[in-house]
Amino acid sequence: MSTPQSLPITMESKNDTRINKICQDHTHLIETLPKGNGWMVEHLYNYNGVWLNSYILKNFLLLNEYFKSQPSDIFLASFMKSGTTWLKALMFSTLNRDQYTFSNHHLLKNSPQSTFPYLDSECYPVTDFTNVRQPRLFHTHYPHRLLESFTVSCKIVYVCRDPKDVLISLWHFACKIRSKDLNPITLDEAFELFSQGVTDYGPFWDHVLSYWRASFGSPDMILFLKYEELKKQPVMELRKLAAFMGKPFTVDEEEKGVVQKIVDLCSFDNLSGLEVNKSGVDILGKLVEVEKKDFFRKGEIGDWKNYLDEKMAECIDRITEEKLRDSGLILGEFESIGTSRVD
């Protein structure tokens, strides 16, 4: 049985001089960039129109220098809190379905985060992924413009979600992992920042549109999925995902119910109920520690209705409509007016 892909080798300090130079450039760059309030850390920096924290920006510079993509690589790209954990589980168990039985599956004993690396925070100090089994799977939150600056011809699975649910999910997550040295972030503050686009990897709308537009130019290379559709018709969406990754389900597998079994294995209820996801921490990259249970909250469509009042929901819908106008993309269910929180 082969192991998952999250065990890259850290290159020892042979590239120290070059790394030091990049770190110095990064320090100077940070001093010149526009600064905004952060959700988890004190500040975000606007790098070429994208809000990033200092650490993720440094990794971006390192990835540009060191990361060598391979044509067989498959990236999972997403805005934060759009269903990444779910997609990680689905992609890993679909691609590796020959390797595990459902009664003794990797995901029964290991968290979805363990399946493949979160590239944005993996590269510091520089990490070597060359010997990882192919196709290599990576997860990133970088918008398409940044991702394409250090990758060539890789397949991308993108998952998006209703921005109102993203906002609420992100706010809860930020409350959990925000630096204890900072004042807690209120929902009103989070709402203001989100609306202004000031979130890690934001603005949200530019992020989604960057992948949406790129998927038009190369539909064979970018699969654009929606959290809400995955919730409503998981079997159909999983068939699409498997075919896109070059491993369509066979007639035999269909008859044996393999598609449904993967859907069940990766469902919110199943994963969130597993002991392995209830305690302990996931270490993303070298520095970021997140309690495993914090990747699972409610896993529902429309939980925003319990938090946003009518004005807030209308404001997000208005921005969404303006930004996405003429793009052909529709996000969420667009049934917000009149169904929001009443204080």
By CB under 6 A, how many residues form the interface with ligand A3P? 21
Pick one of 4, 83, 163, 302: the residue that binds ligand A3P (CB under 6 A): 83
117 binds ligand A3P (CB under 6 A): no
Task: Let me know if 141 is a catalytic residue.
Answer: yes
Select from 41, 190, 238, 271 the one that contacts ligand A3P (CB under 6 A): 271
Residues 205-234: x/- map of binding to ligand A3P (CB under 6 A)?
A: ------------------------------
- Which residue, 19 or 139, has its beta carbon nearer to ligand A3P? 139
Contact region with ligand A3P (CB under 6 A), list: 7-15, 75-83, 126-134, 318-326: 75-83
Q: Does 76 bind ligand A3P (CB under 6 A)?
A: no
Name the minimum Å distance from CB 143 to ligand A3P: 15
Which amino acid is residue 260, in one-letter code?
Q
3-state secondary structure the chain: CCCCCCCCEECCHHHHHHHHHHHHHHHHHHHHCCEEECCCCCEEEEECCEEECHHHHHHHHHHHHHCCCCCCCEEEEECCCCCHHHHHHHHHHHHCCCCCCHHHCHHHHCCHHHCCCEHHHCCCCCEECCCCCCCCEEEECCCHHHHCCCCCCCEEEEEECCHHHHHHHHHHHHHHHCCCCCCCCCHHHHHHHHHHCCCCCCCHHHHHHHHHHHHHHCCCCEEEEEHHHHHHCHHHHHHHHHHHCCCCCCHHHHHCCHHHHHHHHCCHHHHHHCHHHCCCEEEECCCEEEEHHHHCCCCCCCHHHHCCEHHHHHHHHHHHHHHHCCCCCCCCCCCCCCCCECC
| Calculated CA dihedral for residues 19, 20, 21, 23, nearest 10 degrees | 90
Structure tokens at 214: 């790129």
Cβ proximity to ligand A3P, 168 vs 222, nearer residue: 168
Active-site residue, from 106, 141, 144, 207? 141
94 forms part of the interface with ligand A3P (CB under 6 A)? no
Among 172, 247, 261, 286, binds ligand A3P (CB under 6 A): 172
Considering only the stretches 7-15, 36-44, 50-58, 78-86, report the one whose residues sit in contact with ligand A3P under the rule CB under 6 A. 78-86
Stretch that binds ligand A3P, among 26-34, 118-126, 212-220, 296-304 (CB under 6 A): 296-304
For ligand A3P, the binding residue among 293, 298, 309, 315 (CB under 6 A) is 298
Candidate residues 208, 262, 266, 313; the one interacting with ligand A3P per rule CB under 6 A: 266
Contact between 122 and ligand A3P by CB under 6 A: the answer reads no
Selected binder of ligand A3P within 175, 189, 299, 314 (CB under 6 A):
299
In the complex, the residues that contact ligand A3P under the rule CB under 6 A are: 78, 80-86, 165, 169, 172, 266-268, 271, 295-299, 303
Catalytic amino acids? 141
